[in-house]
């Protein structure tokens, strides 16, 4: 017999405008050009893997990760300032000022939310589902679609001879 266990899972929710606030702070501390360069490289990336790697290198993304860690109490204020200094190549003074601004304008508005997550408790060990193996015929088969040429006649339906509209009297 299976039982259900409710487990509280902690999530951090940042305000909707946190990204805009971080962008303004990037501009204030002279990091806007680095962010714009990262976005240009991201746009020119050829595949998803390259985009993911480039996204991780943008100053905005680095700050967002640090904000998440700080909100989860994984780092202190001094650790945040030091991480900003190292990751963004800032002076110690600028890093401390940026950390203070981030704390005032982003972290102060972050909220902890606890979400109930159901877990099934059973006596049987749970096994992972594996995808069904496809037969060799299915993997070797290719789909052949008939080749058709589209012409104006095929795209537009033929007009039928319309009969004259009949006159209808209004109902009072």
pLDDT, tens digit only, all 172 positions of the chain: 455 666 777 788 888 899 899 989 988 988 888 888 888 888 888 888 888 888 888 888 899 999 989 888 888 888 999 999 999 889 999 999 999 999 999 998 888 888 777 665 555 555 555 554 444 444 444 444 444 444 445 445 555 555 555 666 777 6
Give the integer Cα–Cα distance in Å for 94 and 143.
Answer: 61
Q: Domain limits of the chain?
A: 17-114
φ, ψ at 90 (rounded to 5°):
-105, 160
- CA distances 66 to 41, 84, 89, 143, Å, are 22, 8, 15, 49
Give the integer Cα–Cα distance in Å for 56 and 45.
Answer: 13
CB 22 within 8 A of CB 106: yes
């Amino acid at each position: 017999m299976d039982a259900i266990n409710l487990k509280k899972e902690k999530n951090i929710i940042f305000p909707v405008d946190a990204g805009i606030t971080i962008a303004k702070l990037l501009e204030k501390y002279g990091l806007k050009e680095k962010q714009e360069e990262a976005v240009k490289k991201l746009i020119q990336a050829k595949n998803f893997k390259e985009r993911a790697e480039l996204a991780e290198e943008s100053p905005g993304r680095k700050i967002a990760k640090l904000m998440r860690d700080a909100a989860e109490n994984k780092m202190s204020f001094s650790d945040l300032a030091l991480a900003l200094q190292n990751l963004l190549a800032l002076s110690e003074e600028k890093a401390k000022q940026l950390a203070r601004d981030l704390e005032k304008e982003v972290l102060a508005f972050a909220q902890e939310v606890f979400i109930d997550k159901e877990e099934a408790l059973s006596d049987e060990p749970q096994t992972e589902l594996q995808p069904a193996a496809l037969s060799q015929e299915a993997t070797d088969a290719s789909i052949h679609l008939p080749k058709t040429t589209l012409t104006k006649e095929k795209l537009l339906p033929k007009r039928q001879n319309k009969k004259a509209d009949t006159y209808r009297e209004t109902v009072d």
